[in-house]
Structure 1
Amino acid sequence: MKMNAVDIRPGNIIEYENGLWKAVKIQHTQPGKGGAYMQVELKNIEDNRKTNVRFRSAESVEKVRLDTDDYQFLFADGEELTFMDKKNFEQVIVQKELIGDQAAFLTDGMDVILELYEGRPISVQLPQHVEAEVVEADAVVKGQTASASYKPAVLDNGVKIMVPPHIVAGTRVIVDTGEFTYVKRAD
């Protein structure tokens, strides 16, 4: 599906130079002289190369149509992650590098969304927030104000985040999987 270059948004998958590229950052520039253009940082989906491309506002690009399906995480085997289609129970194996650091948040039975291009998985979307337990939290430094200070903590999955001073080991917290940040204390 053709789209104007000025309509590119972060997260869009486009076809560029015979490959699939994900728009990471965009900047619309309108110089005093000459025509407007879009400066787009692209990341190759297959090999993670990055490039910056300048598209003129009159140019069009090919936006890739992706199929999305609900899957359930089953288990990890080294660098391979196994997911099951919730409709037909078929299993799909995905390389851990496709998810990156977010793989630490995967738990058995977790529902995720797989984006597929021509039947091939190209991205995995985890839930925005997950619950985790703090297993290690630094002591509060006396004299710090509660409003501006955060302290390092380690979650049960090994991820390190910053938490407010009142959080101690054993506390269950809600964590943003995209930003790796503390959201709130779990109820």
Structure 2
Amino acid sequence: MKSIDVCVVGGGFSGLYISSMIDGDLHIFEEHSDVGLPMHCAGIISPKTFDMLNVPRSLVEAEYSGMIINYGGYKIYWFGKPLALRVDRVGLERYLYDKCSSLGHVFHFNSFVSNVDSRGFISVGNLRFSSKLIILAEGSRRVFSRRLGLVGDGDDFYGFQALIHGRVGSEFIHVYIDREFSDYFSW
């Protein structure tokens, strides 16, 4: 059994971001073969969040000056300068990966974590690791967070995401709250 100071379960945005702020013996366990893939999110964030991340401006793909929320035949307009940004999610995660690598953090790709327990042990295949600190950045499924009683079984909202190339020519984000499209919302 290998002992590690900090184990991070999940090499997505959250796991990479928190790891980029920690020095020392840190290992990141990611079930996929690369950072940023598969795409899970549209990458729309607030300008305040972008500033907090302290990442290169070149990661911004688009700026939105407003949002139009369509609900029951009504439209609600929300404006800002800019109101939201769309960042290159893959590029952002690769940037954070490079930052973590420069700190000497160790990445374990294609490493599905099968168990985490409250005593500081994680299991990956036939391997077992002990850690002083385990950070769960496991994404929306929150399997270990639920199993350890850290979060409840609250309502989950399931969605569908598709990347469609087209020419919309809008500086606005369009949100549709309509049960015909989804039980939650579409954009």
TM-score, structure 1 as length reference: 0.23
Higher strand share: 1
Higher helix share: 2
Greater CA radius of gyration, 1 or 2?
A: 1
TM-score, structure 2 as length reference: 0.23
